[in-house]
Amino acid sequence: MIVSVASGKGGTGKTTVAVNLALALGDVQFIDCDVEEPNAHLFLKPDLTEKTPARVMVPEIIEERCTYCGKCAEVCAFNSIAVIPPNAGTKGGVLVFSNLCHSCGACSLLCPEGAIREVHREIGVVETGQAGSIRFAHGRLHVGEAMSPPLIRQVKRHIDRTRTTIIDAPPGTSCPVINALDGSDYCLLVTEPTPFGLNDLVLAVEVLRVMKIPHGLVINRCDIGDDRVETYARENAIPVLMRIPFDRVIAEFYSRGINIVEKNRDYAEKFRTLFKDIRNHYETDRNHQRKRGHG
Ligand code: SF4
Ligand code: SF4
């Protein structure tokens, strides 16, 4: 079973929940897809034994063949190529903004002169290893890179579907999140009971509905803020699977890289119960879908 842990916004405690869930379960895989800011390794402290460069294909112009016809710039939906035609005896030029390129291959396919070849460009690295009984993988996007989805997909190639997998998804609701959540059996949304928390939660729920991924909530710092997140969950039949109160001790552990389940047995049990509830909710949802599918 693949369980993603996501949040509509950063700072809700998503990684804390993902890491503690993995530690409470023990024999799982942990895939950190928050490649712009991976920090689960700070808490799981894996022994990283393998490092693989993550590459994408980008166009390279063969100047001597180019006629500056402009077709490549026309076809690029991401404005990653600009063609400067020759003018009054000055030579033309083709500029490739490779950090904007989505590696779709359309420009090289449609260039009438065969003047574009595809070359590798490294955007980050994938590191894998072991943290006790937890198999670990994460991606690190190189500084200044804008294209995290290809790296996320490369990290996810390490998922072994025969094992329980916890994915730490990036925060937000944009392309990287969708790439991280794609293929998940269940998504745990970590939120907080504030107006910002609710606003971003609603957006995240809309994404999950479109993706047809069953989901439930963890409300972090549940004893501060207001009750609008609880009301929203009730009105939309989204189960609240766990509530974590604001606790100075948890905050202190976090700041020192210590995991709550390693210090507090009650929390270890709570996280195991959380996983059982996830499984039950997933099974119930699947049974409903089957019944609906059979009319
Ligand atoms: S499509 Fe090919 S020939 Fe035309 S401007 Fe682009 S690279 Fe040059
Ligand atoms: S590969 Fe696709 S995205 Fe990249 S420059 Fe060519 S057309 Fe644009």
* Domain extents in the chain: 2-54+124-293, 63-114
Q: 68 CB under 6 A from ligand 1?
A: yes
User: Rounded distance, CA 239 to CA 267, Å?
Assistant: 19
**pLDDT at site 249:** 81
Q: 69 CB under 6 A from ligand 1?
A: yes
Q: Whose CA is nearest to atom 3 of ligand 1?
A: 66
**pLDDT at site 136:** 98
User: Rounded distance, CA 204 to CA 291, Å?
Assistant: 26
In this prediction the pTM is: 0.89
**pLDDT at site 295:** 45
Q: 66 CB under 6 A from ligand 1?
A: yes
- Reported in sequence order, the residue ranges of the chain that DSSP labels E, i.e. its strands, are 2-6, 29-32, 47-61, 81-84, 93-96, 116-131, 134-141, 165-168, 186-191, 215-220, 240-244
**pLDDT at site 294:** 52
Q: 221 CB under 6 A from ligand 1?
A: no
Relative to the CA of 67, which ligand 1 atom is closest? Answer: 3
Candidate of 104, 123, 175 to mutate for ligand 2, largest count of ligand atoms within 8 Å of Cβ: 104
Centre of ligand 1 from the C-alpha of residue 64, in Å = 11
Q: Which CATH class is domain 63-114?
A: alpha beta
Query: Which residues of the chain, if any, have pLDDT below 70?
Result: 293-295
Centre of ligand 2 from the C-alpha of residue 63, in Å = 17
CATH 3.40.50.300 fits 2-54+124-293, yes or no: yes
Length of the chain: 295
Q: Which one of the ligands is nearest to 85 CA?
A: 1
Q: At 133, is the secondary structure helix, strand, or coil? A: coil
Contacts (Cβ under 8 Å, ≥6 apart) of 258: none
**pLDDT at site 98:** 93
How do beta strands 2-6 and 186-191 pair? parallel
